[in-house]
Structure 1
Amino acid sequence: MKIAIGADHGGYRLKEELVPLIQSLGHEVEDVGCSCEQSVDYPDYALPVCELVSQGKADRGILICGTGIGMSIAANKFTGIRCALVHDMFSAKATREHNDTNVLAMGERVIGPGLAQEIVRIWLETPFSQAERHVGRLNKVMQIESKYASHP
């Protein structure tokens, strides 16, 4: 898979640790930045990751900021993006199996690199279950998205 990854200054160090892991798992990585710990705005990095995923130029995306909250809010503004803020292994697996998430958000100030690496590994390796109940629920979410995408 091709994985787009982006972080603001609060997630820069964790992003730098995760890129080699993702590559070691056999995935291609497109790193959209940032490339330093100087203050930047998280929407500026959520945007290119979500554009790549929503346009099919990346299979999935990973976003990291201090808490993961800002990135997840920004990501979920995009049509077709299902971003989950995850800080534990159970949620990493469940959000793929049940919600078919295509973007993962994490907070560098919330979790350490060891846990983040395990979350990413689980999230990348877990398939969507395709169970009828999960597909039906996702269809309802997409109907909501479609209905309100054209409203101001």
Structure 2
Amino acid sequence: MKITIGSDHGAVQLKEEVKMVLKEYGDIEVTDVGTFGTESVDYPDIAEKICADVVSGKADRGIALCGTGIGISIACNKVKGIRCALCNDVYSAKMSRQHNNANVLAMGGRVVGFGPAGEIVRAWVEGEFEGGRHERRVNKIMAIEQK
């Protein structure tokens, strides 16, 4: 699996922790699109880079991080083909994959601690889309982009 990850200045530390969790899998290729320091940057720019990789197929999924996760998740969801889920708990992460086929995970560096973030990432990475009745609903969500 290929995952593109990025954060603004408010989640640089969380990004590094998440990368360590992803490394545990051994078979996940991670591309980090920044930022790499605490100097202020605009999260929409990071969101655009992550989502470009996902919609182009360069990455299978993306992980987007900012201070709260809210702004970057909103920006991600403006990109056609993206289903970004802001998850602050394991259950939401699991359901975002199983029921919504989320292709981008968002979290907040000032909201989620390192330990819980690792569990959220694991649930999301390991989650599989169930299809079935959920496929119909995801298709309806994606059809909204065409209007």
TM-score (normalised: structure 2)? 0.97
Tell me the equivalent position of 2:142. Answer: 142
The runs of 5 or more residues in structure 2 that have no matched partner are none
Instruction: Supply the AA of the counterpart residue of 1:141.
Output: I
Partner of 1:150: none
Unaligned runs of 5+ in 1: 148-152
Q: Letter of the 1:138 partner, please give it.
A: V
1:28 aligns with 2:25: no
Show CA shifts across 1:43-92 (max 9, x none): 11111100000111100000010000000000000000000000000000
CA–CA distance in structure 2, aligned partners of residues 62 and 37 of structure 1: 19
Cα displacement (A) at 1:130: 1.2
- What do you get for the CA RMSD once the two structures are aligned? 0.7
Quick one: distance in 2 between partners of 1:11 and 1:121? 18
Alpha-carbon separation, structure 2, partners of 1:142 and 1:68: 22
**For this pair of structures, how many residues does the alignment match?**
146
Compute the displacement of 1:20 (Å): 1.9
Quote the Cα distance in structure 1 between the aligned partners of 2:43 and 2:144: 26
Which residue number in structure 1 is paired with residue 89 of structure 2?
Answer: 88
Structure 1 counterpart of 2:115, one-letter code: G
Percentage of matched positions with identical amino acids: 58
Give a deviation string over 1:99-134, Cα, whole Å, max 9, x none: 000000000111100000100011000100012x10
AA in 2 matched with 1:139: N
Distance 1:20 1:28 in 2: 12
Runs of 4 or more off by more than 2 Å in structure 1? none
What one-letter code is carried by the residue in structure 2 that aligns with 1:73? Answer: I
Question: Please, what TM-score do these two structures have when normalized by structure 1?
Answer: 0.94
Displacement of 1:146: 1.4
Residue matched to 2:14: 14
